[in-house]
Amino acid sequence: MQTVYYSLMKKLLAVVAVVLLGILLGQAAVGQQEKPLKTSILDAHEGVTIGVEPWTTASRYKEKFSKKTPFAAGIVALRLSIRNDNDEAVKLNRPRIRLLVQLDSENKQELEAMTADDVADTVMLKQNGKDPTARRSPIPLPLPIGGGPKPERDKNWMDFQAACQNAGLPSSVIGAHSTMEGLVYFDLRGELDLLQTARLYVPDLEKMTSKQTILYFDIDFSRTN
C-alpha cells in the first residue's frame, strides 16, 4: 500500500512540474513578443510605434562613447526605438527627421538632425569658430572657419565619427515585426530646457511592398507616459 502511495505521489509531482514548466515557458514567450520599448515618450499608429528617450545627462553617453561625447559640446542625442508590427517592412526617410523647439513665445525653430560628420566636426575640430564657453543661441547656424589653416580630420576625428555612426540609427528600413534602435543628434547648444516643450517630427514613412504612406509622427515632449 505504501509503495502504491509513493508511486502516485511521484506521478503527481511529475505532472505538477510539467505544468509549471509549461507556464514559465509561456510567460517567457509572451515577454519576448510583447517586450515594451524602454523610452520616455511613446506614440503609435498604423502598426508603427516610435519611442523617444532624450539623453540629458553626461553619464548616459558613457554607454556608447568612451572619452569625448556629443553632450560635452552641447549636442543632445535622442534615442529612438521604432517598432514595426506590420507584415511588411517600413522605410524611414531619416534626413527628414526634425526637432521643433520653442525659443520664446513668438519664435519657433526647426532643427535638422546632425550627421555623424557634423557631430564629429563640432566636438573634435576645436577651430570650428564656436565658443563652447559662451551662452549661445540654440539655432545651429553653420559658422565659417577662420582664415587660418583648417583643422584636420585626423585619426581621433575618424574614431569619434565612427562611434557616432555606430550609435545612430543603423538603417532606413525597419523589417516586418521587428524593432530598430539608435541615436539621432541635435545641436541644442546645451539649452536642455528647450526639450520640455519640444516636438519630434518624423515624416515620410512608407510600407515597402504596398507603397502605402504612413501618417507622420508629431511627438510632443511635454506629454509623459
> Tell me, what's the pLDDT at 140?
52
> Tell me, what's the pLDDT at 150?
59
Residues 6+ apart with CB under 8 A from 220: 41, 199
> Tell me, what's the pLDDT at 67?
87
Q: Which three cell numbers stand for residue 104?
A: 520664446
> Tell me, what's the pLDDT at 118?
96
Q: Can you tell me the distance from the alpha carbon of 69 to that of 52, in angstroms, rounded to the nearest whole number?
A: 19
Q: Which three cell numbers stand for residue 208?
A: 515597402
pLDDT tens for the 225 residues of the chain, in order: 555 445 555 555 554 444 444 444 444 333 334 445 555 788 999 999 999 999 999 999 999 998 899 999 999 999 999 999 999 999 999 999 999 998 887 888 999 999 999 999 999 996 444 443 344 455 554 444 444 555 688 999 999 999 999 999 999 999 999 999 999 999 999 999 999 999 999 999 999 999 999 999 999 998 754
> Tell me, what's the pLDDT at 73?
95
> Tell me, what's the pLDDT at 20?
46
> Tell me, what's the pLDDT at 95?
94
> Tell me, what's the pLDDT at 136?
45
> Tell me, what's the pLDDT at 31?
38
> Tell me, what's the pLDDT at 64?
95
Residue 102 forms beta bridges with which residues? 108
Q: Can you tell me the distance from the alpha carbon of 121 to that of 108, in angstroms, rounded to the nearest whole number?
A: 26
- 187, 140 Cβ separation under 8 angstroms: yes
> Tell me, what's the pLDDT at 170?
96
Which of helix, strand or coil describes residue 47?
A: coil
> Tell me, what's the pLDDT at 33?
40
Q: Which three cell numbers stand for residue 205?
A: 514613412
